[in-house]
Structure 1
Amino acid sequence: MHATMLSLLPADPLRSDLDLERGEPLTAVVEALLGRGRSTEREKAFALVEAALHDGRAEVRAEGVWAADRACMLSRSAPGRLVRNLRAAAVDEESVVGMSSLLGRLGSVAAPAADVLAPLAGRNPDQDDDHADRALAALVLVAPAQAAPLLAAAIARRPRALDAAAGFRSPKGSAFPYDGELLDAVRDRLAGPEDLRGNEPQYLANLLAGWGAQAVPTLPVLCAALQRLPDQAARAIASVAAGCAPEDRARAVDSLRARAEQGVLPAAKALYDLVGETEPLLHCLEQELRRGGGRLREAARTAGPLGPRGATLAPALREALSRSDDDTTPALDDDTQLAQALWHVTGEADEAVAVLESVFARAERSPWSRWSVARAVRTTALLGPAARSLGARLEAAVGDPASAPAAVAALAVVADPDALDRTALAAAALWSAEADADPAGAIDALEALGPDALTGEHLRRLTVLADGDARVVRSGIESHIIDHDIEFRRRAQELLAIFTAAAS
């Protein structure tokens, strides 16, 4: 069968146009073999991919890249096994471009292929060049230090690469490595904000915010950009000025205060983060809350951490609550965030509980509300035993794998401990992870329950999630699936070690 499959390559032209369920025959075979969950079939799947990647025909190698992509998204061992074969298949510009997205998603694991990305990534720095941009975007994720000077040289013409360094595709929770040439390039771009395109202002600000005090030379241009780019510049200023010299910090504070007094919320928040000035922030938040609209949730999210210092915002928070029977996702999420802010600033649970009860009731009428329910459940957990009247709502949420982990964690802190079936709740959390509904939340839920809630069978299931070859995270934003699964596996292995030690 192995030889027959290879003899059919390129196989894609052989499939029926009527088969809408299963494109790319080689990929379908590889996926089916990996889905059996046995090492023998896994090795056969990898052997098929390797043979295709080393074929002399470009169209066969392209099918091999498609199959390798799917294998890496499904199997934890696939990247390490296949990356050198991918490198061998990168024989020309088209093949490098064809595998660039996959190499970028593999990150540092794809370092052996950095040398095939670099020549194309550095091409035509003074011109728009989509292929060079794709290669540089991959190199940014595979070998960021090597990519930094190439990005600096072409920063205005490489939107994909800039996104990979500091935007939607960038790794969560980590900043792009500092580079002096790139800092100069960012400063030059920000000096002419009217020339910035698309999401470029946000990405440039993200770079500087990630570098913190190392980006102090950009403070003057950031302060000047506050007028035109208040959202982006203010956040970067707060991060950069936090660790700079007193005179630089004072200039940054003066710039932020001037904009905050004009009612610019991002500047007021940055001022508060830097020096703790509450009055401008409270004024801006009250304006946003009473205005409503698209920034309502952001205003409520900013108000909550103020705690009692934001008590004067309580009337505006109440006024912003939904006055209709609206069961749309934005209305449900707005009210959940407002309830959380009210709880933090007033310290009174009854009002927040009433709002959350309304959210749960309205969510029952909407088929699109499962994630809104999960968010309302997480807010309920913050209230602790004061939200015990919402116990039935939490128990109902355990029945949906999307909200089950949040509901389990909430019940652990809200409900009467003697009334909990902790073993059943542990099973619900594991079910959610196995279904790829909320794997990260499942780990939080199991931590909240503690080792006593897990039976031997539960530990076996957790072992499969932590140590098995199949990825647990299989859906979501494509560029982050592998990273999220790696992080899930790390946490699951740590939890498994703790629980196993407790059981022994």
Structure 2
Amino acid sequence: MHSTMLSLLPADSLPSDLDPERDEPLTAVVEALLNRGRHMERKAAFALVDAALHDARAEVRAEGLRAADRACMLSRSAPRRLVWNLRAAAVDEESVVAMSSLLGRLGSVAAPAADILAPLAGRHPGHDDDHADRALAALVRVAPAQSAPLLAAGLGRRPRALDAASGFRSPEDSAFPYSGELLDAVRNRLAQLETLSGNEARQLTNLLAGWGAEAAQALPELCAALPYFPGPAAHALAAVAADCAPGDRARAVTSLRVVTAEQGGLPAAKALHDLDGDVAPLLRCLEQDLRRGPGPLREAATMAAALGSRAAVLVPALREALDAADGDTTPALDTDTALAEALWRVTGDAEGVVAALDSVFARAEQNPWSRWAVVRAARTTALLGPAGRPLVARLEAALDNPVQAPAVVLALTAVAEPSSQDRSVLADAALRSAEQDADPAGACDALEALGPGALTGDHVRRLVALADSDARVIRSGVDDRIIRQDEALRIRVRTLSTAHAAPAAP
């Protein structure tokens, strides 16, 4: 069968009439083999991909690349097993560009392929070049230190690469590694505000925010950008100046005060509060947004909640906004949940908050797309502790939905009478959510809250299977995050399974 499949390549013109939705036969065969979950079938799938990637015909290698991409999204062992074959298939510019997206998603696992990305990524830095931009965006994820000087040289002409660097995430860190060369380039771009386009201002300031005090040299440029890009520049100013010398911090505070006085706006007022502790401008902005209508309500409520009792002056506006609650759309439900949480954190008065959350749960039953709104309402309910006990019936009614189950388990653990809940049943609901890729990260939160005593031997075996199986648990979501999220989940589940495992016999 292996030989027969290879003899049919290129096979894209031969899809089966039995499955009109599948038009890539090699990818379909590889996926079917991997989904069997057995070692020999996995070896057979990888052997097919290897053969296609090493084929002399470009169209066959293209089919092999698509099959490799699917394999890496389904199998945890696929990236390390296939990366050298991907490298071998990069025989020309078109093939490097074609595989750049996959290499970027593999991150540091694709380091053996960094040298095939670098020449194209560094080409023509002074000119727009989409192929170079795609290769550099991949290199940012694969070998960030190697990519930094190339990004610095092409800054302003490499939007994909800048976007990858400004939103950089890895298991080791959450910010793109600091580079003095790149810092100089960012400062030069910010000094030319009139030339910035699209999301460039936000991306540049995100880079600086991630570097914190290391980006202190860019404070003059951030202060100059503040009146033109108050949102992103204010966020970066607060992050950079927080640990700077007193003089630098004072300069940032002065700039924020001027913009807050002249333009108002929540971002500058929040940054001013973060740096100087001055809460008055922030409270004025929050009250305006709370009374302005649906648009800014949720963000304003979230910021008010973070202030706690210091936001007491906002209670009338919060109550007024909550009394006007209407609609069963997900945004409306989420806004009401945020308002309820703000009232709880500010006042500690449970009565009105419980009534508001009860209304959210009731209205969510009328909206089949409201599962994540229920999740957010359940997580807010958990904050109430025993004061949220009147909502137990609402929570129990939502437990059967695998998306909602982890948040509901968290809430029941926090609010219900302990003797009224079968903790092993709650653990089972959380585990099912993880196994079905409904809310795996939330399931880990729930299992941690339940503690070791809630898990049976079968539960522990299922946890071990989630951690050690070759099949990815997370298979859906944003494409360029799936692999990274699944690897992070694997580490977390392995820690949980170790903590919950029975002690070894002496």
> Residue 224 of structure 1: CA displacement?
1.0
Q: Are 1:56 and 2:56 matched, yes or no?
A: yes
Q: Are 1:292 and 2:270 matched, yes or no?
A: no
Number of the residue aligned with 1:153: 153
Hey, what's the Cα distance between the residues in 2 that align with 1:355 and 1:25? 53
1:108-136 CA-partner distances (Å, limit 9, x unpaired)? 00000000000111111111111111100
Hey, what's the Cα distance between the residues in 2 that align with 1:502 and 1:297? 47
Hey, what's the Cα distance between the residues in 1 that align with 2:268 and 2:203? 18
> Residue 260 of structure 1: CA displacement?
2.2
> Residue 409 of structure 1: CA displacement?
1.1
Number of the residue aligned with 1:71: 71
Number of the residue aligned with 1:217: 217
Residue identity matched to 2:330? T
1:208-237 CA-partner distances (Å, limit 9, x unpaired)? 000011111110110111101000000000
Hey, what's the Cα distance between the residues in 2 that align with 1:322 and 1:183? 48
Hey, what's the Cα distance between the residues in 2 that align with 1:226 and 1:499? 50
- Report if the CA contact (8 A) 1:289-1:300 is conserved: yes
Residue identity matched to 1:316? A
Unaligned runs of 5+ in 2: none
1:342-381 CA-partner distances (Å, limit 9, x unpaired)? 1011111111111111111111111111111111111111
Q: Are 1:445 and 2:422 matched, yes or no?
A: no
Number of the residue aligned with 2:383: 382
> Residue 321 of structure 1: CA displacement?
2.1
> Residue 261 of structure 1: CA displacement?
2.8
Hey, what's the Cα distance between the residues in 2 that align with 1:502 and 1:170? 36
Q: Which is worse superposed, 30-39 or 322-331?
A: 322-331
- Report if the CA contact (8 A) 2:148-2:182 is conserved: yes
Residue identity matched to 1:99? M
- Report if the CA contact (8 A) 2:379-2:407 is conserved: yes
TM-score, normalization: structure 2? Answer: 0.97
> Residue 454 of structure 1: CA displacement?
1.1
Q: Are 1:500 and 2:483 matched, yes or no?
A: no
> Residue 197 of structure 1: CA displacement?
1.3
> Residue 273 of structure 1: CA displacement?
1.0
Which runs of structure 2 are paired with 1:262-273 in the superposition (5 Å)? 262=262, 263-273=264-274
> Residue 184 of structure 1: CA displacement?
1.1
Pair 503,385 (structure 1): closer, same or farther in 2 beyond 3 Å: farther
Number of the residue aligned with 1:126: 126
> Residue 155 of structure 1: CA displacement?
1.2
Q: Are 1:348 and 2:349 matched, yes or no?
A: yes
- Report if the CA contact (8 A) 1:176-1:207 is conserved: yes
- Report if the CA contact (8 A) 1:260-1:281 is conserved: no
Number of the residue aligned with 2:32: 32
Residue identity matched to 1:256? L
- Report if the CA contact (8 A) 2:11-2:24 is conserved: yes
Number of the residue aligned with 1:420: 421
Residue identity matched to 1:230? P
Hey, what's the Cα distance between the residues in 2 that align with 1:355 and 1:193? 45
Hey, what's the Cα distance between the residues in 2 that align with 1:419 and 1:502? 29
Hey, what's the Cα distance between the residues in 2 that align with 1:325 and 1:152? 50
Pair 360,248 (structure 1): closer, same or farther in 2 beyond 3 Å: same
Hey, what's the Cα distance between the residues in 2 that align with 1:264 and 1:439? 37
Residue identity matched to 2:87? R
Residue identity matched to 1:150? L
Number of the residue aligned with 1:319: 320
Number of the residue aligned with 1:8: 8
Number of the residue aligned with 2:372: 371
Task: Please give the secondary structure, in 2, of the residue aligned with 1:484.
Answer: helix
Task: Please give the secondary structure, in 2, of the residue aligned with 1:157.
Answer: coil
Pair 202,356 (structure 1): closer, same or farther in 2 beyond 3 Å: same
Hey, what's the Cα distance between the residues in 2 that align with 1:334 and 1:325? 10
Hey, what's the Cα distance between the residues in 2 that align with 1:347 and 1:224? 41
- Report if the CA contact (8 A) 1:325-1:362 is conserved: no
Task: Please give the secondary structure, in 2, of the residue aligned with 1:284.
Answer: helix
- Report if the CA contact (8 A) 1:322-1:335 is conserved: no
Hey, what's the Cα distance between the residues in 2 that align with 1:286 and 1:163? 34
> Residue 12 of structure 1: CA displacement?
0.6
Q: Are 1:335 and 2:333 matched, yes or no?
A: no
Number of the residue aligned with 1:102: 102
Task: Please give the secondary structure, in 1, of the residue aligned with 2:336.
Answer: helix
Task: Please give the secondary structure, in 2, of the residue aligned with 1:156.
Answer: coil
Number of the residue aligned with 2:433: 432
TM-score, normalization: structure 1? Answer: 0.98
- Report if the CA contact (8 A) 1:397-1:404 is conserved: yes
Number of the residue aligned with 2:362: 361
Which runs of structure 2 are paired with 1:129-278 in the superposition (5 Å)? 129-167=129-167, 170-171=169-170, 174-262=174-262, 263-278=264-279
> Residue 320 of structure 1: CA displacement?
1.8
1:166-191 CA-partner distances (Å, limit 9, x unpaired)? 13x75586100111111111111112
> Residue 301 of structure 1: CA displacement?
0.9
Hey, what's the Cα distance between the residues in 2 that align with 1:310 and 1:187? 37
Hey, what's the Cα distance between the residues in 2 that align with 1:426 and 1:253? 49
Task: Please give the secondary structure, in 1, of the residue aligned with 2:295.
Answer: helix
